[in-house]
């Protein structure tokens, strides 16, 4: 059952997977939140673990940076390993003025400058959208946690250094990241569920940022929202 990118066997991966970009963040979540985590993948250093959170099986695996990378891993999880739900837990840069460092952003939909949708040969422009099942559960979890969060449109960019953000700000976009659009499209094509929950690590239009250590290990609000969402899914 293994693929060129994942050495897991059938049944090694839970129906719900949390997917940070950084494999070290996957390791942090597994070691700090999951009961008896077992590492199922080390191929290309993209660590994957399965354990239990409050008695519910949950997996966590790195995706790497950008839509081509998360596109590979999520396609395989959905279509080869029978995963039903993937929740991206990553970092984002604030675009909207009311979104600040360490706030949580839940991506209801994504705008993108990527050509990822061209593979579907659609007769128009596709709008990547989160699964309502995951979105509604995450909002409930965020409210219960008392987290400062925002829900709305995010921008999935193919470029990390991007000078168009002010234009997206005028369209009400909350934040920029680099993976959610591909996740949402892969989920839709497979008939599965995808959601992006991101912590604001920097505010590029304001010149503010968190340290690399904070990015890796201390964004607990989004991790706990995602884990509680997994519990609601059972």
- The tokens describing 68, both together, are 């081509």
Contact 197, 89 (CB under 8 A): yes
**Cα–Cα separations (whole angstroms), residue 190 to 153, 181, 227:** 22, 14, 23
| Phi, psi angle pair for 153, to nearest 5° | -80, 135
202 tagged catalytic: yes
- The tokens describing 124, both together, are 């128009």
> Which one is catalytic: 22, 84, 202, 221?
202
Contacts by 77-81 with C-beta closer than 8 Å and gap 24+? Answer: 77/6, 77/13, 77/17, 78/186, 78/187, 78/190, 78/192, 79/190, 80/1, 80/3, 80/6, 81/1, 81/6, 81/8, 81/10, 81/12, 81/13
Is residue 172 classed as helix, strand or coil in its secondary structure?
Answer: coil
Supply the residues annotated as catalytic. Answer: 202
């Amino acid at each position: 059952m293994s693929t060129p990118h994942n050495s897991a066997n059938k049944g090694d991966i839970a129906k719900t997977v949390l997917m940070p970009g950084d494999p070290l963040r996957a390791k942090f979540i597994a070691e700090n939140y999951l009961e008896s985590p077992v590492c199922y993948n080390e191929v290309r250093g993209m660590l994957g673990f399965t354990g239990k959170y409050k008695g519910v099986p949950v997996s966590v695996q790195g995706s790497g940076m950008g839509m081509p990378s998360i596109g590979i891993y999520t396609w395989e999880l959905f279509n080869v390993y029978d995963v039903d739900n993937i929740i991206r837990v990553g970092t984002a840069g604030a675009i909207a003025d009311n979104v600040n460092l360490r706030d949580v952003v839940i991506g209801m939909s994504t705008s993108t400058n990527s050509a990822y949708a061209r593979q579907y040969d659609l007769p128009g422009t596709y709008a990547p959208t989160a699964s309502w099942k995951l979105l509604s559960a995450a909002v409930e979890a965020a409210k219960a946690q008392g987290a400062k969060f925002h829900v709305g449109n995010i921008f999935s960019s193919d470029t990390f250094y991007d000078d168009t953000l002010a234009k997206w700000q005028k369209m009400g976009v909350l934040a920029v990241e680099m993976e959610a659009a591909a996740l949402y499209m892969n989920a839709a094509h497979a008939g599965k569920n995808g959601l992006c929950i991101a912590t604001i690590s920097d505010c590029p239009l304001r010149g503010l940022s968190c340290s690399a250590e904070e990015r890796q290990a201390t964004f607990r609000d989004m991790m706990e929202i995602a884990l509680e969402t997994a519990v609601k899914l059972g």
